[in-house]
Structure 1
Amino acid sequence: MGAIVMDGNALRDEVVAGLAERIAGLGSPEVCLATVLVGDDGPSHRYVASKRRKAAEAGMVSRHEGLAADATQAEVEAVVGALAADDSVHGILVQLPLPDGLDPEPVLDLIPAEKDVDGLTERSMGRLVRGRAGLVSCTPLGVMRLLEKYAVPTSGRRAVVVGRSTLVGLPLSLLLNRKGVDATVTMAHSRTADVATVVREADIIVGAAGQARMITADMVKPGAAVIDVGVSRTESGIVGDVDFGPVSEVAGWITPMPGGTGPMTIASLLENTLAAAQLQGVVS
């Protein structure tokens, strides 16, 4: 019997509908998500458009600041600083990567932790490490929502996260290790000896290395949950870190790519935006 396919599109729509119902009951003030996009990168424009579309479906105000590819560091920082100081803006998302020549760190540092709906700043990461209330990076949060929705057991289970980025691998490892989730987490990476053996021991496998189809069926314990976060663009389209067809015959649960963790990243962004407004005391 094949794996249960964890449908990120369906869960995203469920989350957005739930947020719309909650926001409709709030009245004013309106919940506002601001997006900042620098340059003319096609995929970035599509991602931001999709986020803004779903924000509107959730009943949020979507404010957008677009800058030319030749914008200076000072110009980008000025836009983000103004949004940070604007009490009518509750969440700020700076679409990454920025064009060559721009340093994202000073830009992200301008975003207050309570408006950091992408969960990318040092302060947000620090809150996660310390177990304090805060906003969590969207893709890891989306993975956790998928595990919850599909009732994947985590307590006492062995989880292996392949990839150690601060965007996905590190925060997801912390979330899986939290009290109440209680997985035993290993973070594998390019220097891990015999990655296949390490992955094969896992009950939960997360591919977040950005290496096309690197997780093959012979690396998967029968019945394991396999979460694909990696994105590689090939001539035949987008593929993930997981060799989906063969792995789905072995795994107990699996996310497709696309259609799995990507939609849940957007759902989590909107969930974070409402949480941001609550952290700011704007809504209850």
Structure 2
Amino acid sequence: MLIPAVAARLDPGWASRVAAARRKLWLALFHPRTVLEAFRGETPGFRPHRPFWGMRGGVSAVFVERLLTLLTALPSVRINPVGRLRHMASGPRGTVLLDFAAPPGGAPQRLSLPAATCALGLGAEELFRAAGVDYAPQRLSVAFGWAEVAEADLRHCPFSLLLAAPGAPALRVSAGPVAEGGRRVMALEFGHVPEGLPHPGAAEARRALEETGLLREGAPMRLLGVTSLPCLQVPSFDNRRAFQAALAAFHARGPEGWAGQLLCGAGRLGFDSMNEQILTGLRIGEP
């Protein structure tokens, strides 16, 4: 009752996807007993106890900014801002040449790295395209919106609220930190929007906030924006086969002497969440 309702909002064909990869549809996975206890208002009996951890400031960007600050302060680390990888080729004396587009406020760059030991943490589409390998996985577009309301007009404000009911005006509502002037930005995930259909707007955002009891009915609300992004890579068998073929082509046609490591989504299909990237970094950093 819970999982199918959420999955269908993100991917209408979710039931035919690779079972082990359905988590990539941002599904909330709960044991039925845990769900029942929550609906009854009981304390979940799941053990061991695993409390959620968050950042002061409320969003993962805060964690990235702090991590970057710590890295910048290390004498053994050099931060070199670059744009997207445009081209990758063999260089002299066992090197690989990486041509990057200009980052904001910067200039295009060419880096030369040892082909045998370098590690590249890039998305699969960006890396394979730079190496001359065709790869275009099927993606699903998901609509997002941001609405600003007064903190005093919120009846209650959980960090994240999942709306599983069919026909709900949004899929998930998340609360940002309280800003200056007692205002709070609420992030809304509306789910998959089929091509050709209009994006949700202010009416859907208000419904999502009022019908859930978060926002006082009729309270002022300012819609900051709505966008739709092809951010979900479909966890299908076709996409898995396409990735495996592209990865094999990269190793066959890539830079001469390449023996480096491919991290994140380039090294493993769908391995692109922050948690997965942290685990990958810890693994390659082991002595």
**TM-score of the aligned structures, taking structure 2 as reference length:** 0.28
Greater per-residue helix proportion = 1
Structure ID, larger Rg: 2
With the length of structure 1 as denominator, give the TM-score of the two structures: 0.28
